[in-house]
Chains A and B, each alone.
Chain A
Amino acid sequence: MASFNYDDSDSPRDTELSSLVAIYPEIQHPRSDDPYAIAIDIPVNPSKPVLVYFPAAADSNPDPRAQGTLQQNGASHVNGSASGGPLNGTDRVGGAGSAEGAGAGAGALDRHEVAHLPPVHLEIIFGPDYPAEKPPVITISADPPWLSKDTIKRLEDDGPRLWEEMGRDMVGFTYIDHIQQAAENVFELVDEKGTLEVDPQHRIAIMDYDIRARRAAFEKETFNCMVCLDPKKGSVCHKMIDCGHVFCVECLQDYYNNAIKEGDLASVRCLAPNCTKEREQAAVSSSGNKKRKKPKTYISPSELLQIPLDPETVKRYVTLKYKTELESDKNTIYCPRQWCNGAARSKKHKKPQGLELNEHDEDEEEEEETSGVSKPYNATDLLAICEDCNFAFCSRCHQSWHGEFVRCQAPRKNEELTAEEIASLEYMKLHTTPCPTCAAPAQKTHGCNHMICYRCQTHFCYLCSAWLDPGNPYQHFNEMPGGRITGCYQRLWELEQGDGDDVGLGFEGGAGAAPPGAGRAGPAAAAAAADAPEAPPGFEGLPEQRLMELLMADMGESDDEEDDFGGPPPFGDRELDRQLAQRIEAEAQNGAGRGVGEVAIAREGPLVLRIDGGRGGGGRNQPAAGRGRGGGAAGGAAAAAPNGPAAGGGRGGRGRGDNARGGQGAGGANIRGQHQNRGGAPNNRHNNRNNHPNHNGVGAGAARGGRNGGGGVGGAVRGNVGGRARPNPNGPRMDFDNPDNVQVNVPDGIRLDPQQEAWIRQFVHLALEDQEDLLFDDDDW
C-alpha cells in the first residue's frame, strides 16, 4: 500500500487529505501513482439487525402456510438476538438458521436476520481542479455487489450535490460521514416491515460475511464464564446456539466430556441455571396459546464439535443417545445374532448417520402412539431387519425370517450362563433397582430414595421400584390420603450412603427378594410373582429377564404346564425355580439372628407370616424399630432347585439406623409345602457355612454371619397362604382348600403353642377370603 505525505500546506487538496488520513487511518491508496485517490471501506452495521430477504424466482405464489411459519421463524430469531447479542442463530458453521432456510426451499422462507452487511467500498479521486472547479470523482462498489445500481448511483450523486451545497468547498469528510450515517440505516433500503430485499445470488456471500463479522465481534468481546467465573476473551468462549449463554471452552469441554464419559446424557445441556425454564416461557409468550412445545434442551452433535469436543467423544454421545432412545422404547426389537445385537430398523428411530442425530418430531411420535393402539394384526409385521447387519428375522421367534405363512418354531435350547454373567446378574439383583418404566437398573450412590431414572426420567422409589408421582414423589414415603401408608413409610433416607458391595449394607431391593416388611407396594409380592398371579407384574424379573433374553437368546413361548395359572411371562422352568430358590432363601434369612427358644409369629408381608423361634424378648414379634429388621445378612447360595441356574444371593435386611445384623442363622421352613423335612431338622447348624446346594429343592439356605448379631440357630417359618400360593409340584402340597388341614412344618427347636396354631389357621382361613386384614386392624398393613 502506498503512503503519501501531503506537505503542501498551500494546496487545499493536501490540507484536506492530510486531515482525512488522520481521521480515517484505514484510508487506502488504490493507485500508487496518484496520492489524491483514496479508498475506504465503510462498514454496514445497522443499528438494529435487519431481516434480509432473498426473493426466489418461484415466489409468485406464496403458500399461506409457509407464511405462517415464516413469521414464527422471524419471531424466534428476534428473540434470540434480544437475549443473545452479536453471535446467534446463524453461528460459525452456518448453524441451524441458514440450513433451515435452505432446507425449506420455499422462497418465502428465505429470510435471515443479519447484523453485518458487507462493507461499501468508497473510492474518491480528488482531481487537480478540486475543490474550486470540480467535485471529487466518486466510485462506490460492494463485494458482493448487493447494492442495486440505482442505490449506487444515488449515493455517488450525493457527492457532487453536497459539494454544491457547501459552496464548492472541501467535501471529503462531509461525504464520508454522510455515507457512514446512511450505512447505519442501510441506505434507507429497509422497508417498513424491517426487511431488506437482496438478490438471491448473493445469499451465501452475505450470510457468510455476517457470520464472520459476528464471530469477529464476539471474539473481541470479553465474557465472564459462568462456570469458572473468570473473565475470558470471546475467542476462547462458546456461545450456546439455542439460548445464547456464553461459557468458556475449557469449562464446556470439561463438563461435557465428563458427562458423556459417564453416560449422563441428560446433563449435556446448557449450563446456566433456569435456562430451559426461561426459554420455555419465552416460547410460550411468543407463540401465544399455540400448542406448547418443549424447547430442545440437549445439545446437537454439531454444536459439540464446534465447541470443540473430540470427535470420538461426540461419536460416543451420538451412539449413546441413540442407544438410550432405543432402549427406552419397549417396542425395540434387537437382532438375535449374538455378535450383532443391533436394533431392528424402525420408522420411529433412525440410526444416526455419522455424527448427526436424526431428530424426530415428538408430536408425530405421540400421534403414532395413540393411533397405533388398535392396529390390526399383520403377519408381515413380524418381519424385522437388523439395521446393523441386515439380518432378516422374525420378531416373535427370533429366528431367521420364515415368511408369514410358517408358524414360529420352538426356541433353541438354552445355553449355560458363564460364571461372569451369573455374577453380573447377581450383583444387579442385589444392588440395583429397576426403573418401573423402562426397567433400566439404577444403583444409588447416596441420598434419599426418591430416584429419577437416568434414562427415561421416571420418578420411582429405590426401595420398592414403585412409580412415584413426579408432582409429589415424597408422598410415597409419607402418609397417603386417607391415612394409608406404603411399606416404604418413613424410609426416605434409608441407604443414604448408597447401595453397593462397598457399603457393607444391603437391602432386598426392588431387584432382589422381598424386603422384609416392604409391604404391598413393595416387591414382597414380586418375590412371590411366580405364585401370585395377581401380584404386580414382577419388577423383579424385568432387567434380568431382559438380560437373560440377551444372554441366552431365550424367548420361550411357553406352552407347557406353566400356563395354567396365567402367571407372569413364561420364563420356563428355570426362572420359576430360580424365583422359588430366591424365595426360600429369603425365608431362610429371616431365621438369621434369632435364637432358639420362644416362638413368635409376626406378619411379614401381605401374605407372609413369620414364625420365629428364639426371641429373647416377649411381646409382638417385631424387631426393635418398626420397619427396621435385624434380619441377618443372609448371603451365599440358598438351595438351588433342580436345574436351577443360579441361586439368588440374599441380602440382609437393613433397618433404619439399625445396624445389628444377624448372626449365624440357618435353615428355614415354610408351610407352603415344598419342605420335605417334615419333622426333621433342616440342618440348622450354627456353622453352616458350606451351603450345599440341595437338589431336592428344599429351602435349607444358610445365612452368612453378621458382626454383632445375636447369633443362634433360628428357624423361620413363613407361610404363604391361600389360593394365591402356587404349590410346588416337587413337594408335598398343602391342602389349602381345607385350611383346617394345614400342617405347619417347623424346624426343630420351635414349638408352636395351640393358640398360635389356631391363629395361623384363622389367618389362612381369612386369607382365602381376602379378609386377612381383619386380623391386623391395629397394624401397619
Chain B
Amino acid sequence: MASTKRIAKEFADCTTAPPPGISITLPSDADLHTWHVTVTAPPNSVYAPGRFGLILKLPTDYPFKPPTINFTTRIYHPNITNDSLGNICLGLLKSENWKPASKIISVLEAVRNILVEPMPDDALEQRIADEYRRDRPEFEKNARAYVERYAKGSVNFVQAPPPPEKKDGAPAGATTTGAVNPGRAAGRQGGASSGSASRPAPPA
C-alpha cells in the first residue's frame, strides 16, 4: 500500500537524520500510523528547555489527507488549546490547505516553529493571544510556569480521555474558559501529582 510505504520512508528519514529538537518513536511497531514525537523547545523560545510530547496520527489515506497532531504535554500557547486535548491550529494541517507532497518533517518543523513565533492572529486561545500581544512579560511568565510544571522530565504520551462529564462546574470551568491561572492549577492538582512531572490525570 502506497501510504504505508511512504510513511515507512518518512519515518526512516526522520529517525536516521532527525531534525533538530525533534525525536520520534513508534508506540507500536505494528502500527506506523501513530507516532510519538518529542519536541524540545528551541533555545530561543520562551518554552526552553521544555520537552513536549505530541501524538501524530496519520490517516489511512495519508498523504492524501493531512495528519493530525495533539500535544500531550500541556502548554501555554495561543495556538494550542490549553486543555487536556492539546489541539493545535496549523494552516498546513487544514484539509483544504494540505498538499500531498507536504512531508511530516515540515509539519513538525512548523510545530516547533510556532513555539518560537506564536501566531496570535490565528489563536485558539484568544485570551493567551491577547496577553501575548499586550503583556509579553506576563505571557512569558505564565508560559515558563507551565513548562516548569508540565514540560520537565520524561515526556508523557497519554492522550487525553474524552472530556470528562461535568459533575460539578469547577474543573470544567477551568478548561472551557481557557483562563487557567497556573498558580491555581498548580494548587488544585498539587495534591494528586505533586513532584510528578508528567501530565496530571484529569480530575476524576
- Evaluate whether A472 and B166 lie within 8 angstroms (CB atoms) in the complex, with A227-B6, A228-B6 already known: no
Q: B126 touches which one: A274, A448, A478 (CB < 8 A)?
A: A478
Confirm or deny: B29 has a beta carbon within 8 angstroms of a beta carbon on chain A. Answer: no
How far is B94's CA from A387's CA once the two chains are assembled, in angstroms?
A: 38
Confirm or deny: A254 has a beta carbon within 8 angstroms of a beta carbon on chain B. Answer: yes
Chain B 155-174 interface mask (CB, 8 Å, partner A; 1/0):
00000001111101100110
- Complex contact A255–B100 (CB within 8 A): yes
- Complex contact B63–A227 (CB within 8 A): yes
Residues of A251-303 at the interface with B, using a CB-CB cut-off of 8 Å, are 251, 254-255, 258, 266-267, 270-275
**Chain B neighbourhood of A478, CB < 8 A:** 123, 126-127
**Chain B neighbourhood of A227, CB < 8 A:** 6, 63, 100-101
- Complex contact B169–A625 (CB within 8 A): yes
How far is B121's CA from A431's CA once the two chains are assembled, in angstroms?
A: 30
How far is B177's CA from A626's CA once the two chains are assembled, in angstroms?
A: 10
How far is B81's CA from A467's CA once the two chains are assembled, in angstroms?
A: 23
- Complex contact B166–A625 (CB within 8 A): yes
Chain B 44-62 interface mask (CB, 8 Å, partner A; 1/0):
0000000000000000010
Confirm or deny: B80 has a beta carbon within 8 angstroms of a beta carbon on chain A. Answer: no
- Complex contact B99–A493 (CB within 8 A): no
Confirm or deny: B42 has a beta carbon within 8 angstroms of a beta carbon on chain A. Answer: no
**Chain B neighbourhood of A267, CB < 8 A:** 96
- Complex contact B106–A273 (CB within 8 A): yes
- Complex contact B9–A474 (CB within 8 A): no
**Chain B neighbourhood of A271, CB < 8 A:** 99-101
- Complex contact A228–B5 (CB within 8 A): yes
Q: Which of A61-69, A152-160, A413-421, A656-664 contacts B (4 or more CB under 8 A)?
A: A656-664
Confirm or deny: B23 has a beta carbon within 8 angstroms of a beta carbon on chain A. Answer: no
- Complex contact B10–A229 (CB within 8 A): yes
- Evaluate whether A273 and B172 lie within 8 angstroms (CB atoms) in the complex, with A474-B123, A474-B124, A624-B166 already known: no
Q: Within the complex, what minimum Cβ distance (angstroms) separates A492 from chain B?
A: 7
Chain A 519-544 interface mask (CB, 8 Å, partner B; 1/0):
00000000000000000000000000
**Chain A neighbourhood of B106, CB < 8 A:** 273
Q: Within the complex, what minimum Cβ distance (angstroms) separates A655 from chain B?
A: 8
**Chain A neighbourhood of B2, CB < 8 A:** 228, 250-251, 254
- Complex contact B5–A448 (CB within 8 A): no
Confirm or deny: A25 has a beta carbon within 8 angstroms of a beta carbon on chain B. Answer: no
- Complex contact A659–B165 (CB within 8 A): yes
Q: Which residue of A lies closest to B106 (CB)?
A: A273
Chain B 65-91 interface mask (CB, 8 Å, partner A; 1/0):
000000000000000010001010100
Residues of A29-57 at the interface with B, using a CB-CB cut-off of 8 Å, are none
How many residue pairs, one in A and one in B, have C-beta atoms under 8 Å apart?
Answer: 90
A interface size (C-beta, 8 A): 43
**Chain B neighbourhood of A659, CB < 8 A:** 165
- Complex contact B169–A624 (CB within 8 A): yes
Majority secondary structure of chain B interface residues (helix, strand, loop or mixed): loop
Confirm or deny: B122 has a beta carbon within 8 angstroms of a beta carbon on chain A. Answer: yes
Chain B 110-133 interface mask (CB, 8 Å, partner A; 1/0):
000000000001111011000000
- Complex contact B176–A479 (CB within 8 A): no
Q: B87 touches which one: A258, A266, A448, A626 (CB < 8 A)?
A: A448
**Chain A neighbourhood of B126, CB < 8 A:** 474-475, 477-479
Q: Which residue of B lies closest to A480 (CB)?
A: B126
- Complex contact A273–B102 (CB within 8 A): yes
- Complex contact B165–A471 (CB within 8 A): no
Chain B 5-47 interface mask (CB, 8 Å, partner A; 1/0):
1100110000000000000000000000000000000000000
How far is B81's CA from A659's CA once the two chains are assembled, in angstroms?
A: 21
Confirm or deny: A383 has a beta carbon within 8 angstroms of a beta carbon on chain B. Answer: no
Confirm or deny: B178 has a beta carbon within 8 angstroms of a beta carbon on chain A. Answer: yes
Q: Which residue of A lies closest to B130 (CB)?
A: A479
- Evaluate whether A657 and B164 lie within 8 angstroms (CB atoms) in the complex, with A229-B9, A471-B121, A490-B176 already known: yes
- Complex contact A490–B123 (CB within 8 A): no
Q: Which residue of A lies closest to B96 (CB)?
A: A452
Q: Within the complex, what minimum Cβ distance (angstroms) separates A680 from chain B?
A: 37
Most buried by B among A229, A471, A628: A229
How far is B173's CA from A475's CA once the two chains are assembled, in angstroms?
A: 20
Most buried by A among B85, B89, B94, B126: B126
How far is B173's CA from A246's CA once the two chains are assembled, in angstroms?
A: 51
Confirm or deny: A226 has a beta carbon within 8 angstroms of a beta carbon on chain B. Answer: yes
- Evaluate whether A479 and B99 lie within 8 angstroms (CB atoms) in the complex, with A474-B122, A657-B164 already known: no
Confirm or deny: A163 has a beta carbon within 8 angstroms of a beta carbon on chain B. Answer: no
How far is B162's CA from A245's CA once the two chains are assembled, in angstroms?
A: 42
- Complex contact A251–B100 (CB within 8 A): yes
Residues of A476-490 at the interface with B, using a CB-CB cut-off of 8 Å, are 477-479, 490
How far is B64's CA from A155's CA once the two chains are assembled, in angstroms?
A: 56
- Evaluate whether A493 and B87 lie within 8 angstroms (CB atoms) in the complex, with A275-B99, A479-B127, A658-B166 already known: yes
- Evaluate whether A272 and B101 lie within 8 angstroms (CB atoms) in the complex, with A474-B122, A490-B177 already known: yes
**Chain B neighbourhood of A273, CB < 8 A:** 92, 99, 101-102, 106
Confirm or deny: A247 has a beta carbon within 8 angstroms of a beta carbon on chain B. Answer: yes
- Complex contact A226–B101 (CB within 8 A): yes
Q: Which residue of A lies closest to B169 (CB)?
A: A624
Q: Within the complex, what minimum Cβ distance (angstroms) separates B7 from chain A?
A: 10
Q: Which residue of B lies closest to A276 (CB)?
A: B99
How far is B81's CA from A472's CA once the two chains are assembled, in angstroms?
A: 17
**Chain A neighbourhood of B100, CB < 8 A:** 226-227, 251, 255, 271
How far is B173's CA from A656's CA once the two chains are assembled, in angstroms?
A: 11
How far is B94's CA from A658's CA once the two chains are assembled, in angstroms?
A: 27
**Chain A neighbourhood of B176, CB < 8 A:** 490, 625-626, 656-657
**Chain B neighbourhood of A452, CB < 8 A:** 94, 96
**Chain B neighbourhood of A245, CB < 8 A:** 101
How far is B89's CA from A624's CA once the two chains are assembled, in angstroms?
A: 28
How far is B142's CA from A170's CA once the two chains are assembled, in angstroms?
A: 86
Q: Within the complex, what minimum Cβ distance (angstroms) separates A426 from chain B?
A: 28
**Chain B neighbourhood of A477, CB < 8 A:** 126
Q: A657 touches which one: B5, B81, B165 (CB < 8 A)?
A: B165
Q: Within the complex, what minimum Cβ distance (angstroms) separates B97 from chain A?
A: 9
**Chain A neighbourhood of B87, CB < 8 A:** 448, 493
- Complex contact B123–A658 (CB within 8 A): no
**Chain B neighbourhood of A492, CB < 8 A:** 124
Q: B64 touches which one: A258, A471, A655 (CB < 8 A)?
A: A258
How far is B20's CA from A292's CA once the two chains are assembled, in angstroms?
A: 38
**Chain A neighbourhood of B64, CB < 8 A:** 254-255, 258
How far is B177's CA from A628's CA once the two chains are assembled, in angstroms?
A: 13
Closest 9 CB pairs of A and B: A478-B126, A657-B163, A226-B101, A273-B102, A273-B99, A271-B100, A272-B101, A271-B101, A227-B100
CB<8 Å pairs between A and B, sample of 27: A227-B63, A229-B10, A245-B101, A250-B2, A251-B100, A254-B64, A255-B64, A258-B64, A271-B100, A271-B101, A273-B101, A275-B99, A474-B89, A474-B124, A478-B127, A479-B126, A490-B176, A490-B177, A490-B178, A493-B81, A625-B166, A625-B173, A625-B176, A656-B163, A657-B166, A658-B165, A659-B165
Q: A448-B87, A492-B124 are in contact. List 15 more A-B contacts (CB 8 A).
A: A227-B100, A229-B10, A247-B101, A267-B96, A270-B99, A271-B99, A271-B100, A274-B99, A448-B89, A452-B94, A452-B96, A471-B121, A474-B123, A625-B173, A628-B166
